[in-house]
Structure 1
Amino acid sequence: MKKAVLLKLLCIVIAAFLVLFLFAACTDSKEDEEKETTTVLGDDTSEDTGPSNVDENGYILDTVPTDTLNYDRTVTLLYWSDVEHEEFVSEKQTGEPVNDAIFLRNMAVEDRLGIDLGFISTPANSSNVAKWVTFVRTDIESGTRSFDLMGAYSLSIASTASNGLCYNLLDPDCEYLNFEMPWWPDRLITEATINDKLYFCSGDISANALYMMYVCYVNNSIVEDRNLPNVFELVDNNQWTYTKFLEMCEGIYEDKNGNGLKDVGDQFGYMTGTIHMDPWFYGSGALIVDKDTNGNLRMSPTFGGEKVIKTLEMLNRMLHDTNDGIATGSTVYHQNQFNNGNLLFTTDRARIAITKLTSEDLDFSIVPFCKYDEAQESFVTVMGNPFTLYGIPINAVADDLPMLSAVIEVYASESYRKLTPALYEITLKTKYVQNEDSARMYDIIRENLTFDLGRIFSSVLIGQTSFRNAVLNNTGGTWASTIRGYEKVLPKQLDKLITAYEAG
């Protein structure tokens, strides 16, 4: 009898546990179902086992079918031996991020395409444009074919193109080049394409393109001491304009060397040298050359426009009629003076954060160069000329064009995934930038790169010194006369350039 009672009790206990278990399971299932139905779009962290167009770090992959390509040959790049920052050759990994990224980029290109990269070099900087063109022309006309691709100082490659020595990268045989990809800046491709022909390219493929971005350097100590506005807030609130820049420069001057003269060694709101005045021209949205509605090259109406005239008036007043700023001509003083803490602002390439601004006592920030006014849609970043343009020589063998286009595309995409992060994320945005806001500003700076064929082809058009000279010599009042002179000369030079493009 007792056994029967115990058996019944045991059955009841087991049944109770089963009910509790089933209830808990149903509750968990209901909660899971509710979680699934409330998932926010884009917040799904479940593993995606399908195909992806990005790598493990989230960088977009190229579309070159390298799993089916194996060219089994050496591809030789002719590059400029006097390049300002190495971007081509790395013999081995050393632990330095940029060097190692170049090494890994080259190795990836070789492995993916089954090639060996070869390199030969010759001078091509601003003093050697003509020598570079002669070297390329001699190699082509002699049939030597000592190189398959070219990468050189921007003005040297542009001059090579204007001499009919570059192949059209938009030719259907260059089938693997995809200029819709993020490693090719939209503005460069758009502006450099003339009559459906494109003879050179740049972007992430050139490390020097990032080194050469013009930025505005801000002395944080002077900002704090003078209770000036926060420059990051000005940028974020669309108030970082020419007018605000000039206002902040007012009253900064101190005769620090005590000689009673306005000269180098004093404290200024702003100091810069001749070539570093270019951001003021381009920051206003101006260009030397643009295209009409039919895509034809022309002298840009903005070249002699009201914004440039007003900009010259503002600069001439600040630099020549007040003590707020000073222009030092071709001699470079502003880098050391900013490094020594004597300037509120200066404008220069991003690279001087690495090479010149080394003082432990200097507390500085980096922001985009200011806008002309608040109505302007975006900031504008101009690059210094020593960046690299890449191209294919005109005498390339027709059967080699698909391969050469594949090499350029893979070279650029691997640079985008390996070299740009090392240079931009690790070096420019982290190692040499002193605050998070400056690192954030670099994104704005890079997103707004501009390109001007009048600048890139300056060696075969009208040069690029007119605006600089008007600032340095305090002759902004004669700008309209200067433009009238160019209206007689520049169209003829553009006709010659278009003829060279059509012949290519």
Structure 2
Amino acid sequence: MKNKFRISALALAALIFSLTFAAGCGGDAPASDETTAAADVTAETESAETDRGDIPDDLPDDLDFGGEEFTIHVRGDETSYEDFFSEQTGDIIDDVIYNRNRAVEERLNTAISVYRGKGWETYNDELKNIRNAVQAGDDSWDVIAGWSARIPIVANEGLFLNLYELPYLNLDREWWVQTLKEELTIGGKLYFATGDITLTLLEAAYVICFNKALAVDYNVPDLYEAVNNGSWTLDMMAKTASLVSADLNG
């Protein structure tokens, strides 16, 4: 039965789909307590001698999905699509993605497909489509690789599965971003995860810069130390910014 497969199929994520995603099936809404800590999505430091492709997963050797299709819902833009699907083109990244998908399909006896949703400019419409599909019991998608700025909206409506309850999905493995997992766990539930497979995790990384001279003039606390000891949060960033002001109009 496909409904049963939809839950079990998320075991694939433990092997390859380390992405910002939500399982398209109903579950309890997250608790109301929220964290304001800025998510540190810096990739885990790896030894130069370590190739993650050589690290064994912990899935059962006899795991078999009976040829069922595993569908990933992605945004319509080309970058999001190519995170999960590519043809062999001779390009290193394209070929690695292609070979990865074929290797997983062969090992787990499944077929990976990608559904392209709407792009950035009409993503609110795509949220409606996701909401309507889940509420109607439409199981066309197994995983949603959503836009992180918008997809959390529907998580509060109880439409997604708690990732901690999924079989075979070991979120402690090194291909998941652990700091983000910790920050997004609310009330013991987790609806999103990200990791190595999301190329935009590196391509769209953001940094925060500050003026060191002004920091000295306004007695701003040591920001490097705040980052190192874990006290650098969105609240602290806002408070720090409020310390610095000047009337340039005299």
**TM-score, normalised via structure 2 length:** 0.64
Q: Does 1:169 align with 2:163?
A: yes
User: Within 5 Å, which residues of 2 pair with 1:14-93?
Assistant: 59-65=54-60, 67-72=61-66, 73-82=68-77, 84=79, 86-90=82-86, 92-93=87-88
1:117 to partner: Cα distance: 0.6
Q: Secondary structure at the match of 1:117?
A: strand
State the alpha-carbon separation in 2 of the partners of residues 245 and 63 from structure 1.
Answer: 51
**TM-score, normalised via structure 1 length:** 0.34
1:144 to partner: Cα distance: 2.6
- Post-superposition Cα deviations, 1:296-328, rounded to whole Å, max 9, x if no partner, equal xxxx4x2543x3324x44xx79xxx6xxxxxxx
Q: Identify the match of residue 287 of structure 1 among 222, 233, 243.
A: 233
1:283 to partner: Cα distance: 7.3
Q: What does residue 308 of structure 1 align with?
A: 241
1:205 to partner: Cα distance: 2.6
Instruction: Confirm or deny: 8 A CA contact 2:72 2:115 kept in the other structure.
Output: yes
State the alpha-carbon separation in 1 of the partners of residues 177 and 97 from structure 2.
Answer: 20
User: Within 5 Å, which residues of 2 pair with 1:208-357?
Assistant: 208-215=200-207, 242-243=211-212, 286-288=232-234, 300=235, 302=236, 304-305=238-239, 307-310=240-243, 312-313=244-245
Instruction: Confirm or deny: 8 A CA contact 2:164 2:190 kept in the other structure.
Output: yes
User: Within 5 Å, which residues of 2 pair with 1:396-435?
Assistant: none
- Post-superposition Cα deviations, 1:408-435, rounded to whole Å, max 9, x if no partner, equal xxxxxxxxxxxxxxxxxxxxxxxxxxxx
Q: Does 1:144 align with 2:138?
A: yes
1:163 to partner: Cα distance: 2.5
State the alpha-carbon separation in 2 of the partners of residues 59 and 246 from structure 1.
Answer: 45
CA distance change for structure 1 residues 55 and 242 in 2, over 3 Å: closer, same or farther?
closer
CA distance change for structure 1 residues 208 and 57 in 2, over 3 Å: closer, same or farther?
closer
Q: Identify the match of residue 154 of structure 1 among 140, 148, 159.
A: 148
Q: Does 1:113 align with 2:113?
A: no
State the alpha-carbon separation in 2 of the partners of residues 241 and 121 from structure 1.
Answer: 39
Instruction: Confirm or deny: 8 A CA contact 1:124 1:153 kept in the other structure.
Output: no
Residue-pair matches, total: 188
Q: Secondary structure at the match of 1:213?
A: coil
Q: What does residue 8 of structure 2 align with?
A: none
1:153 to partner: Cα distance: 1.0
Q: Secondary structure at the match of 2:146?
A: strand
Instruction: Confirm or deny: 8 A CA contact 1:94 1:100 kept in the other structure.
Output: yes
- Post-superposition Cα deviations, 1:45-67, rounded to whole Å, max 9, x if no partner, equal xxxxxxxxx987774222112x2
Residue identity matched to 1:131 = D
Q: Does 1:100 align with 2:95?
A: yes
CA distance change for structure 1 residues 303 and 105 in 2, over 3 Å: closer, same or farther?
same
Q: What does residue 191 of structure 2 align with?
A: 199
Q: Secondary structure at the match of 2:126?
A: helix
CA distance change for structure 1 residues 162 and 129 in 2, over 3 Å: closer, same or farther?
farther
1:94 to partner: Cα distance: 1.3
State the alpha-carbon separation in 2 of the partners of residues 246 and 79 from structure 1.
Answer: 42
Q: Identify the match of residue 172 of structure 2 among 144, 156, 180.
A: 180
Structure with the greater alpha carbon radius of gyration: 1
State the alpha-carbon separation in 2 of the partners of residues 308 and 62 from structure 1.
Answer: 44
Instruction: Confirm or deny: 8 A CA contact 2:177 2:193 kept in the other structure.
Output: no
Higher-helix-fraction structure: 1
Q: What percent identity do the matched residue pairs reach?
A: 29
State the alpha-carbon separation in 2 of the partners of residues 58 and 89 from structure 1.
Answer: 18
State the alpha-carbon separation in 2 of the partners of residues 87 and 58 from structure 1.
Answer: 17
Higher-strand-fraction structure: 1
Q: Secondary structure at the match of 2:144?
A: strand
Gaps of 5+ in 1: 1-53, 217-239, 248-281, 289-299, 322-473, 475-504
Gaps of 5+ in 2: 1-48, 217-225
State the alpha-carbon separation in 1 of the partners of residues 134 and 53 from structure 2.
Answer: 42
CA distance change for structure 1 residues 58 and 134 in 2, over 3 Å: closer, same or farther?
closer
State the alpha-carbon separation in 1 of the partners of residues 109 and 98 from structure 2.
Answer: 16
Q: Identify the match of residue 181 of structure 2 among 176, 185, 189.
A: 189
CA distance change for structure 1 residues 178 and 57 in 2, over 3 Å: closer, same or farther?
closer
User: Within 5 Å, which residues of 2 pair with 1:383-402?
Assistant: none
1:82 to partner: Cα distance: 2.2
Residue identity matched to 2:205 = M
User: Within 5 Å, which residues of 2 pair with 1:459-470?
Assistant: none
1:84 to partner: Cα distance: 4.0
State the alpha-carbon separation in 1 of the partners of residues 88 and 146 from structure 2.
Answer: 24
Instruction: Confirm or deny: 8 A CA contact 2:71 2:143 kept in the other structure.
Output: yes
CA distance change for structure 1 residues 58 and 170 in 2, over 3 Å: closer, same or farther?
closer
